[in-house]
Amino acid sequence: MVLDLTASSLDLTRAICDIASVSGDEKTLADEIEQALAPLDHLEVIRHGNTIVARTDLGRAQRVAIAGHIDTVPINDNLPTRLIDVDGEAYLWGRGTVDMKAGTAVQLKLAAELTDPVVDITWMWYDNEEVEASKNGLGLLAAVRPDLFVADFAILGEPSDGEVEGGCNGTMRAIVRTSGVRAHSARAWIGENAIHRAAPILARLGEYRAREVLVEGLLYRESLSAVRISGGVAGNVIPDACEVEINYRFAPSKSAADAEAHLRSVLAGFDLEVTDSAEGARPGLDAPIAQQFVAAVGAEPRPKYGWTDVARFSALGIPAVNYGPGDPHLAHHDEERVPVAQIDAVERGLRAWLSSH
């Protein structure tokens, strides 16, 4: 198939959602995007791996980077997409509709149609956002082509219910380990059970109360959760090792070093190894261009609780926000679905701002 960038944002969303692109398997969709953009004379198209960049070069006074990821979490019998009715409102249901192919579809349509925007635009569609930071297509591109990240403002099409979400929480993953001594389970007193020794870890996490932190007028909520536990040898063996994987979401006022120190204080006395982390991003809504954008789309700024790639732009000193269709609470959900009206509203908002501000 060839993507039709003249189709409606809804139809384009369906088309790119129905091209399965679970993290690590984005090549087919990346190929389709590149082929659809290549004939457009007003765009310079650049490919790095499965990340596609399309740029205008009109000599405008300001440049805006607009980005969206093309991968999804694993499918769970929720493709192909279908239109459904929920309480009288039309929704598009299926994997990726919220996170974040509706936002990506809007961007692709506007990239094709806005041949004379009032700012230069660097459009970016990238792979491997849903997995560890080391594989993130945007991060890999920044390492080899930092020149493509020069911008005055950035917009990520992450789901934000059609509102503007400023900045994002940071995220950190860690493994907490316990050890013991193997023995036959019929003589359990001979061994030391590593899984039982993990009980205090779970108790501390269960008792933990999430903090709410005010950052530049937006209230960010933190969380600390066990997300996986593993251990055991056989049905008749006392286990000698256990691992609890935890995920800490921390306010953008903290650095990763601050977050690690807090994590180690909460789990003091246990063997803890940080395996992955990404800094958060402050809201950046005090920048004049960000204020113009918020006013133009008529949105009420809110905090972004989940980590997004606004953090990559924030680290470069570029104010960045999240703006896309879809309820973030339905991201990764088996009943993932996006209101059709919200797709259209985000398209109108972006189109109006890029055409007239």
Q: Which positions are catalytic? A: 71, 129
CA atoms within 13 A on the CB side of 351: 14
Report helix, strand or coil for 103.
helix
At residue 219, what are phi and psi to the nearest 5 degrees? -95, 110
How would you label 324-344 residue by residue, b for 16+ Cβ within 10 Å and e otherwise?
Answer: bbbbbebbbeeebbbbbebbb
Alpha carbon distance, N-terminus to C-terminus of the chain = 36
Q: Which amino acid is at 93?
A: W
At residue 326, what are phi and psi to the nearest 5 degrees? 110, 145
Q: What sections of the chain are H helices per DSSP?
A: 9-17, 27-37, 102-113, 137-144, 199-207, 256-266, 288-297, 310-315, 340-356
| Tokens encoding 31 | 């190929």
- Quick check: 321 and 284 in contact, CB under 8 A? yes
Ordered DSSP codes for 272-301: EEEEEEE--B---TTSHHHHHHHHHHT---
Q: Which amino acid is at 246?
A: I
